[in-house]
Amino acid sequence: MTALRGTLPIPGFSVEKEIIKPVNVSSVPQRSIFRYPGGKTWFVPTFRKWFDSVNARPAILVEPFAGGGIISLTALFDKLVSKVVMVELDEEIAAVWQAIISGNANWLAKRILSFDLTRENVIEEISNKTSSVKEKAFQTILKNRTFHGGILANGSGFLKHGENGKGIKSRWYPETLARRLDDISHLANKIDFRCEDGIKVMKEYASHNNVRYFIDPPYTAGGKKAGNRLYRHCELDHEELFKVCETLKGDFLMTYDNAEEVKALARKHGFQMRLIPMTNTHHATMEELVIGKNLTWLDKLPAAHEPLVNYKDEVLIVKTKISKHSRVRQ
Ligand SMILES: C[S@@+](CC[C@H](N)C(=O)[O-])C[C@H]1O[C@@H](n2cnc3c(N)ncnc32)[C@H](O)[C@@H]1O
């Protein structure tokens, strides 16, 4: 994250203010074989900072909505934890992690290297009904790499133009994918993968001290549509998720879209929030929410904006805030 200096335009004052720029994702090692919609490669530097902010390292990282798993993989490659628990409900995504963990990373790599990628061959391959986990894993990788935005949810289709007019081939990098599979295979014994409900697994670990959680749910709170298009499993009881977060002995970080419904839940459960800039797939800069128990190590980031109020309501709001301050960790 690059910090620039600016000055607040208040007469008589010259206060140094830092403007935080979005992370350039090309500076982050890409470990996952997925190009994942809503993937958190851009969050990696903040995730590392979270681990740097305390001396004691937890033994386990639980990622209840793992998707492409870039955060869990980073935690293992950087030796931040000795084990990760990755949870993902989507069976197609799950097949990839299960194939790697069961020793089939090399098989997958060979299959990728020898596949002649044409539209016809992809259609033929993905229409084969199979009960083999490794075959399903290969089909998932093919779809993820040739479908628009890497989206596997119903209604998704092939990349049309792709990068440089290369069409469905534009995200197919066989050697790179084979190398990533090989790298991950060396850490596979440190991955506990579960194709289950992430909230259920969080409850299982809730009483453990030596655990941290990186929580990146589908962004569907308050009936938001964005997450609906991207994932097959997008319905989630967001209130329940926040309730479970309150019971966790270990620390957690949660990322969400900057939506009023989410901020209301965070306030209700007494969590802190910061706004973090990111660049979306359309190269636009936007802000996402980081939520946690104590985010003082993120103090360079702005706090989440409070709702706008009318002038005559302001006195009331200020009073409410002062009385809340004594009990809310914000
Ligand atoms: C925002 S994405 C996670 C992206 C991930 N952090 C990454 O960097 O690739 C949310 C994921 O949660 C999964 N999901 C939705 N509901 C779930 C549930 N109840 N339990 C586990 N996974 C779930 C979706 O299939 C989707 O892959």
**Domains of the chain and any CATH numbers:** 31-325 (3.40.50.150)
Looking at residue 324, its pLDDT comes to 41
- In the predicted model, what is the mean pLDDT of the chain? 85
- Compute the distance from residue 16 Cα to the ligand 1 centre, in Å: 39
Looking at residue 87, its pLDDT comes to 98
Looking at residue 48, its pLDDT comes to 95
- Compute the distance from residue 198 Cα to the ligand 1 centre, in Å: 8
* Nearest CA owner, ligand 1 atom 17: 89
Q: Write the pLDDT tens digit of every residue in 24-48.
A: 777 788 999 999 989 999 999 999 9
Least confident stretch, 88-92, 162-166, 240-244: 162-166
Provide the whole-model pTM: 0.86
Mean pLDDT, to the nearest integer, of 100-106? 98
* Best mean pLDDT range from 7-11, 38-42, 148-152: 38-42
CA–CA separation, 32 and 48 (whole Å): 17
Looking at residue 318, its pLDDT comes to 39
Which atom of ligand 1 is the closest one to the Cα of 66? 5
What secondary structure does DSSP assign to 26-83, as a single string?
Answer: GGS----S---TT--GGGHHHHHHHHHT-SSPPSEEEETT-TT-HHHHHHHHTTS-SE
Closest CA to 227 of 36, 32, 37, 33: 37
- Compute the distance from residue 232 Cα to the ligand 1 centre, in Å: 9
Measured in whole angstroms, how far is the alpha carbon of residue 264 from the centre of its chain? 21
End-to-end CA distance of the chain: 23
Looking at residue 22, its pLDDT comes to 79
Measured in whole angstroms, how far is the alpha carbon of residue 243 from the centre of its chain? 20
Percent of the chain whose pLDDT exceeds 90: 64
* Statement: residue 240 has pLDDT above 90: yes
Q: Which tokens hold the place of 79?
A: 């030796």
> Tokens 């506990």 identify what position?
192
CB-CB neighbours of 33 under 10 Å: 30
Least confident stretch, 52-66, 128-142, 197-211, 276-290: 276-290
8 Å CB contact between 145 and 181: no
- Compute the distance from residue 110 Cα to the ligand 1 centre, in Å: 28
Looking at residue 29, its pLDDT comes to 87
Mean pLDDT, to the nearest integer, of 241-258? 97
Which atom of ligand 1 is the closest one to the Cα of 39? 8
